[in-house]
Structure 1
Amino acid sequence: MSGKKRDGTLFSFFNKKTKNEHVNISNIPNDLDVIEDPDKSDAKIHPPEVLKMFVKEPLTNYKKAPEFLKHHASTQYHLLATEKISAFIQSFKTGESVEIMLNNKVSSIMESNRKRLVPIIKTIIFCGHNNLPLRGHRDDGILDIDSALVGTQGIFRSLLAFRIDSGDKELTNHIRSCKKNSTMISKTIQNDIINILHKVIIETIVTNVKKYKYFSILCDETTDISTKEQMTFSVRYIDMEEMKIKEEFLGFIELNSTTGSAIKDTMVKQLECYQLSLKNLRGQGYDGGSNMSGRNNGVQALILKDQPLAVYTHCFNHKLNLCISKACEIQAIRNLVGIVGSISVFLSTSAKRTNIMLEIISKDDSVPVPQKKKLKALCATRWVERHDSIITFRELYSYIVITLEELEKMSDSETACKAVGFSASIKRSEFLISLEIVANLFSYTKTLSLVLQSPKLELSKAFSHVNDVINVIENIRENSTSRFETYFKNASDMAALVGEDIRIPRICGRQTTRCNIQTTDPMEWYRITIFLPFIDHLISQLKIRFNEKLSEVMPLEGLIPAYIDKYDESNIIKAAMIYNEDWSGQIMDIQSEISIWKNKWSNIQTIKPDTVIETMKHCDEFFPIIKTLLHVFATIPVTTASAERSFSTLRRLKNYLRSTMGQDRLNGLAVLNVHNKMPINIDEVINIFSRSSRRIKTEDWSI
């Protein structure tokens, strides 16, 4: 092997014709070492490719050597080799091992890849938090920034292009230097990252549930846009550090069967998936469907066989809705609800009719403009809106009458015909009296409905609110004459606004289909025929449906200082013994602790705590059994409103444009949207991603 020459002399060799040819070494780049192999000097060489002659075979044709060498000096693999040999020489001089050098190189590649993933993960989180669809019609291949910015490649790629356009250097460097199979923005990578985000959020929630031991489950079912039966799955537990009741959404489960046994098996399997023990289950919250609440084969009964301490609660909001629906079966009230619903749909579904009504309201300067200017349709599932629709109709009554009178004059025969019928219906005395009665009584149940939807509500407080409303309505019933006089006067004023009077319907000698009270006083007639039956039905329904006092566990309410005298001590001890395995003691232990507890609060004259959470703040290590019992009592669910709210997320996520979304992707995006305030550790997400088959630790995506 000949040495490298840098003195400008000629470098000679034999060509295929055995003639000497020469090349001037000064024409060779200074950073290249020229090595001559005598064994190859007489080989028959045709003009080779640069990669072949310098990597696989030596250079023997020196005629174009300067051109080939200059090109070779600028190639990426030569620069990388130069960097490696420099590092090797440096390590040789400093004594640093090759193993350390390799580890440093791997660490450098890994750190570079992690930085490339950060803006991609943040963009997916942004889309999930804001319920934005990620994919577009064409969203494969290398990111075309100009095309993505105009929105032809989906929101996810558009947001990436927007980040690049706004100066995100890491993302810009990644997109420009990555290989086609290492862009990390494909739909497959999206699904992987969404699944990891879902896993991180769920693990955070489940860790807290395990930490505080006791929990309840909240479930409900609905059918999505692709006609799949989806069951929402949530948990309720007490955060003992923050002293808060929390109800957390965990995901949707596709049901292949809606029988009680099938749903129960699915729930148990899901709990095993989350590694939540059935031993710590202390409550169940469902609606009143037979497959959920059935005494023998319902889900609650089957769960109770495996875990007798999992107390079942029929959702309080569903029960309130059933009370109101049953009370509204009185003929006059039923007709009112039907007419209000039909008129609301008639006026609100047409832009032209809505604008006519808005114009009529804006022209009225005689009274303050009402806050609500549009009617709400009666909703079968949204409890507050059902109350609001009647109350809003009452407030806008005079404007509705004028609007219908205007619509009677329209050339559209169908619209005019309906307007005439609706106008005549709402001017009837029976309708006006019923509207006034229902609007006033619904104002009480509306407040109750709002309160019962709180995820922080406790069982004792829920019953207290229900009893408060029952007491108020019973007071109205006791003073029915004076109260109805006010309602009758208001109805008479509404009738006067439309040029009508409150009259008694015609009375015939023999009548079997309606009330035939022998009185000539309109106020007395409507009080007896409509007001009293409706209020009696409402009171009886509230008492019947909320009379389920959960008699076995409700005496634990007596541990709350505000209700300490409400229950006999023997009943409290009996309820405490049900949960004996949770506090593991003898009956004398709980007896002595309750006696000390009662004595403590009997000497306090200030305002006493009236909730479980407030009471638990006063339970120190001196009252361990009482603290455990209060913990379990607060875990028992009141309503499934939190579970119901997840259906709104489902409808926004899985719509007619995204009806084929897979279950894993659906759950990942749903959890991101519902828990959008939960902080996410990006490094943890990347760590999980790096443990997959993507080889983030060793593969350099830039070459």
Structure 2
Amino acid sequence: MKRNIEKNAKLTDFFKRLKKNEEDGNMGNLPEPADSDENSVTITHSACNIDSTPSTSTDSYFPTENALETFNNSNNLAIPTDNVPSSSATSATPSENSSVTVIHSAYPIDNITSVSDSETIDYYQKVFDIGVVKESSEITEFQKYKFLKESWYPPGNYQFPFSEHNKNNKIVKRYLSFKHLNTYEWVTYSHLKRGLFCKYCVIFSKPKDSKQLKGLTLEPIIKFAKLLGSQGCLENHNKNKYHIEAVLDAQNFIKSFENPQADVRNQLHKSRASQVSENRKRLKPIINSILFLGKQNIAFRGHRDDGVINVDENVSETNEGNFRELLKFRVESGDETLREHLRTSSSRATYVSKTTQNDLICCIGEEIRDAVIRRVNAAAFYCIIFDETTDVSHISQMSIVLRYVDIDMKEAREDFISFVDCHEENFSLDEDTLEPILNGKVLARTVLNVLTKLGLDLKKCIGICTDGCSVMVSKKCGAVEEIRKCIPHAVPCSCYNHALNLAVSKSSTVHSVRNLIGTVKEISSFFTASSKRHFVLKHITKTELKSVCETRWVERHDSILQFKNELPNILQALDKISLWNESESAKKARNFATALRNCEFVITLCCLANIFSITLPLSNLLQTKNLDKKQANDVVSITLLTLQDKRDDASKYYLSISNDAKQKLKEINVEFSMPRITGRMVHRPNPTVSSVDDHYRITVFIPLLDSIILDLKDRLSENKLNLYNLHLCVPSVTKNKTDEEIYQGIRQILEQFPTIFEENDEMSFQKIASEMLIWKKMWDAEQNIPDNGITALKECNKHLFPYISILLELLCCLPVSVASSERSFSTLRRLKDWIRSRMVQDRLNGLALMHIHRGICSSLNVDDIIQRYASQKNRRLEFVI
């Protein structure tokens, strides 16, 4: 009460001084007061033009900062321009002789792709704009409390709408201002409806006559004349009986919400709290069963899983599914609470149906996602990693992963957030869409919509990582460039794994390598296509052949290395099969054996295995999560140098490969020889050399090295390996740089990332430069010097080097691979197989989050899940006190 008195006193003093300045003529071109009489009125309702003029202020109109403005500028999200009331409150209606024309001026945004009404309402609900209450069919008690206590209030730089009035043939403007909002504490402005509401009446009024409740309740006031004063519409509304009743209802609601023990229902029914506690105990074993099945990725439902669970039957004739059978097992193991619940509860309140499963799975998924988002919000930066695939039910699924630095563990994390149905998200069956193409703009809009719904700050997004396909990385219309239109400071990050895999695949342009890869694939398929042939191979080799997989990067290396080691055993298996009476298998086995007993094939296999043994460690390392870009660049550089050394001294390195090949040829009884030389050769190399070693070194080894080295350098060029000088903060680099090089690098960092520091560039430069000099001096006498960002971040004292700590966190946050998205696709294939192909999207996301985030899932509080489940809608049993 004292605080409100002081606040009102300050406001009164402010408006007194404002009036005095106006009388003295010091107010400039301020509009006339909005409380005067007029006869003929023409009203122009102009919304605040936040997009037509760039604002230099760092304030924003919404808690999500500049996300709304960023979306408008990116042509991805439009503020709704409809739903503006066509009439004002009855208390502000002009006289009968008045001529009234209402013109609704919407946001001046051109070429905007509007989102659906449901998405718009969801957005305004997050900022608690009171106007959204009239668009929502039902709001929860928690939302009511938020609208009453934290309803959206315009910031200091907000441009209020105005109305134009024809007064004595002269157009005058009547502006809405903070004075109108501060005079009555129940007055609330809606950015969505562009007018004034009474927040108490909007939520708690019980109209008997809808006409008397239009102004401030059912519809906003959009005419800003005659607002204040004894005859003003605000004062008239303040005296209305229905308003006074709504205020009392609101006060009682707030009191009971903040102090549930004082709720009248609890006072009248002392047993209610006990009943709620009992209901929660009944639901807990059901939730725990869902958590267990979700973490283990076990299917829930059976062929028939409806109806009441009969806990008295030990054996059921039908398979009721894992979920219901697990509940029976819990009862048999002594869970008396669950037994009593299933035995005594109504058939419509057992909470074991498929609908309840979906609701609880969604609640668990939201709890897990919220836990991840809290960690992301606690970090200074985050990066987006996304990829797209088609699942078993032919739905285009986009996987979205966030990379950030855990401030507690000081390590990089890559956490899965959601699967998104790209077509369902962007196209409607009601629309006449000729061809729902998933181009760069559509994929970018999908990602940005997800980030906005999660409430993530787009200013903190500093990197975007995808694979190398054109729809993602095209400079003209790729998804990355479309996202950067909204987040210009986010840098594109190439996927090193895809680059390496494509470079290895490109080696098949060499004639002998192409033939070898094709032969290996066919032999692998030959053995796996028949149980008889597979039995023979497994009996001889004691293992299974790995296929040359197109998507699993490591298996491409492993398959060649394994084939080289098992070559004699594979030939033995083929020889046995070639003696079968089954002509088809015998014929193919004989042909494959002939292809393997070829000198060129064996030497090519040894050359390829030798090179793959160098690229395999790089492929494994690039798939790790806790890997910073500086460390990845170092390993890529070392790998390229190693391959280049082999190319520069090919004779020396080929000698060991040749000896290995000769040993293999001896084991399979094949002569070491070169192909027949002719005068004119068109389809294969034909060098004029006399030595067999020289022939294969020139025709196989050197072309293979050249192909991989050139392709790797092209795909992982200096531009794609760009560290934006962030590696200057790594001590092993810092101590070898001159002061001038450090200063130049700092300026380039500030130019590339202008939003990471609150100060201006010059002040930030001076502080970073000072810290860098101390940082460099500190490591001069040390022996064990960190050589990557992760290690340096752990050694950096955040209080002593705050700016260097931020730069190191920025370096560690940049992703090097989309391996986490690819891993989520592996989860998708395990989760949504052909048996569960009709799974709905919300259930899929909940189960995926439980399976992927096992640690978070195990630490969830079941009471929080019940609280979320109960707040969604009214339940047959009460779970909330």
TM range (shorter): 0.7 to 0.9
2:385 alignment partner, SS class: strand
Match of 2:289 among 123, 130, 139: 123
Matches of residues 180-579 of structure 1 in structure 2 within 5 Å?
180-256=347-423, 257-361=437-541, 373-550=543-720, 553-565=723-735, 568-577=741-750, 578-579=752-753
CA contact (8 A) 2:627 2:790 kept: no
Letter in 2 for 1:159: L
Residue 594 of structure 1: aligned partner: 772
CA distance in 2, matches of 1:164, 1:397: 56
Answer yes or no: is the 8 Å Cα contact 2:602–2:661 preserved in 1: yes
Figure out how many residues of one structure are paired with residues of the other and give that number: 593
Runs of at least 4 residues of structure 1 off by over 6 A? 97-101
Instruction: Tell whether the 8 Å contact from 1:149 to 1:158 is kept in structure 2 after alignment.
Output: no
Could you say which residue in structure 2 is the equivalent of 1:686? 866
1:612 is matched with which residue?
789
Quick one: structure 1 residues 98 and 229, their matched pair in 2 at CA, closer, same or farther if it must change by over 3 Å?
closer
Q: Is the Cα–Cα contact under 8 Å of residues 110 and 698 in structure 1 kept in the other structure?
A: yes
Query: Which among 791, 800, 805 is matched to residue 622 of structure 1?
Result: 800
CA–CA separation in structure 2 for the residues paired with 1:232 and 1:314: 17
The answer on whether the counterparts of 1:141 and 1:180 sit within 8 Å (CA) in structure 2 is yes
Which range moved further: 106-115 or 670-679? 670-679
CA distance in 2, matches of 1:522, 1:390: 24
1:637 Cα deviation (Å)?
0.9
The one-letter amino acid of 2:845's match is N
- Displacement of 1:436 in angstroms is 0.4
Deviation (angstroms), 1:104: 2.5
The corresponding residue for 1:40 is: none
Q: CA deviation at 1:676?
A: 1.5
Q: Against the structure 1 CA distance between its residues 331 and 410, is the aligned structure 2 distance closer, same or farther, given a 3 Å change threshold?
A: same
Give the conservation status (yes or no) of the 8 Å contact 1:148–1:157: no
Cα distance, 1:166 vs structure 2: 1.2
**2:304 counterpart of 1:138:** yes
- Which range is displaced more, 512-521 or 663-672? 512-521
User: Does the 8 Å CA contact 2:304/2:318 hold for their aligned counterparts?
Assistant: no
Query: Match for residue 672 of structure 1?
Result: 850
Whole-angstrom CA distance in 2 between matches of 1:589 and 1:490: 59
Q: 1:356 to 1:550 in 2, by over 3 A?
A: closer
Rounded Cα–Cα distance in structure 2 between residues aligned with 1:295 and 1:438? 35
1:216·1:635 contact (CA, 8 Å) conserved in 2? yes
Amino acid at match of 1:615: A
Q: Which has the higher contact order (CA 8 A, sep 6+)?
A: 1
Cα distance in 1 for partners of 2:843, 2:735 equals 53
C-alpha distance in structure 2 between counterparts of 1:246 and 1:689, whole Å:
29
CA spacing shift, 1:571–1:353, aligned 2, 3 Å:
farther
Q: What are the superposed Cα offsets for residues 603-649 of structure 1, whole Å, 9 maximum, x if unpaired?
A: x2311111212212323323222111111121111101011101111
Q: Larger deviation: 475-484 or 191-200?
A: 475-484
Say which SS state the counterpart of residue 329 (structure 2) adopts: helix
How large is the Cα RMSD of the aligned pairs? 2.0
Distance 1:439 1:698, change over 3 A: closer
Structure 1 partner of 2:819: 641
Alignment check: 8 A CA contact 2:735 2:779 kept: no
Counterpart-to-counterpart distance in 2, 1:230 and 1:311: 24
**C-alpha distance in structure 1 between counterparts of 2:392 and 2:265, whole Å:** 57
| Equivalent residue letter for 2:748 | A
TM-score by length of 2: 0.65
Output the amino acid matched with 2:673: R
Whole-Å separation in 1 of the counterparts to 2:678 and 2:515: 22
Residues 674/151 of structure 1: CA separation in 2 closer, same or farther (3 Å cut): farther
Partner residue in 2 for 1:366: none
Partner of 2:756: 582
Change (3 A) 1:551 1:100: closer
Cα distance, 1:279 vs structure 2: 1.1
- Residues in 1 aligned to 2:566 and 2:473: alpha-carbon distance in whole angstroms: 40
| Secondary structure of 2:683's aligned partner | coil
**Deviation per CA, 1:641-698, whole angstroms, max 9, x where unpaired?**
0111011111111111111111111111111111112121101111112223344664
Instruction: Using the TM superposition, give the Cα deviation of residue 570 of structure 1 relative to its aligned residue in structure 2, in angstroms.
Output: 3.6
Deviation at 1:500, TM superposition (A): 1.2
Instruction: Output the CA distance in 1 between the equivalents of 2:501 and 2:718.
Output: 16
The 1:478/1:551 distance shift into structure 2, 3 A limit, reads closer
Distance across 2 between alignment mates of 1:497 and 1:246: 49
Q: Pick the aligned partner of 2:277 from 93, 99, 111.
A: 111
Counting aligned pairs with the same residue, the percent is: 35
Q: Secondary structure in 1 aligned to 2:471?
A: helix
Partner of 2:195: none
Q: Contact conserved, 2:724 with 2:749, CA < 8 A, in 1? A: no
Matches within 5 A, 1:57-136: 102-136=268-302
Displacement of 1:584 in angstroms is: 3.0
Aligned mates of 1:236, 1:505 — CA distance in 2: 53
Cα 1:222/1:105, change in 2 over 3 Å: same
Structure 1 SS opposite 2:418: strand
In the TM superposition, residue 543 of structure 1 has moved relative to its aligned partner by: 1.9
Q: 1:399 to 1:552 in 2, by over 3 A?
A: closer
Q: How far does residue 273 in structure 1 lie from its aligned partner after superposition?
A: 0.7
List runs of 5+ in structure 1 lacking aligned partners: 1-96, 363-372
Quote the residue 1:45 is aligned against.
Answer: none
Q: Contact 1:198/1:672 (CA < 8 Å) preserved in 2?
A: yes
- 1:25 alignment counterpart: none
In the alignment, is the contact (CA less than 8 A) between 1:196 and 1:689 conserved in 2? yes
Alignment-derived partner of residue 46 in structure 1: none
CA distance in 2, matches of 1:666, 1:515: 54
CA contact (8 A) 1:387 1:446 kept: yes
Give, in whole Å, the separation in 2 of the partners of 1:279 and 1:101: 49
Letter in 2 for 1:218: I
Show CA shifts across 1:362-405 (max 9, x none). Answer: 6xxxxxxxxxx221111000011111100100111001111111
| CA–CA separation in structure 1 for the residues paired with 2:541 and 2:390 | 40
Alpha carbons 2:494, 2:720 under 8 Å: kept? no
Q: What SS class does the counterpart of residue 371 from structure 2 fall into?
A: helix
Kindly state the Cα deviation for residue 407 of structure 1 after the two structures are TM-superposed.
Answer: 1.1
Q: Distance in 2 between matches of 1:654 and 1:205?
A: 23
Residue 654 in 1 paired to residue 832 in 2?
A: yes
Q: Describe the shift of the 1:407–1:698 C-alpha distance in structure 2 as closer, same or farther (beyond 3 A).
A: closer
Amino acid at match of 1:534: L
Q: Distance in 1 between matches of 2:375 and 2:594?
A: 60
Residue 368 of structure 2 aligns to a residue in which SS?
A: helix
* Shift in alpha-carbon separation, 1:215–1:398, aligned structure 2, 3 A: same
Other structure's SS at 2:348 match: helix
Q: CA deviation at 1:233?
A: 0.7
Q: Normalised by the size of structure 1, how large is the TM-score?
A: 0.82
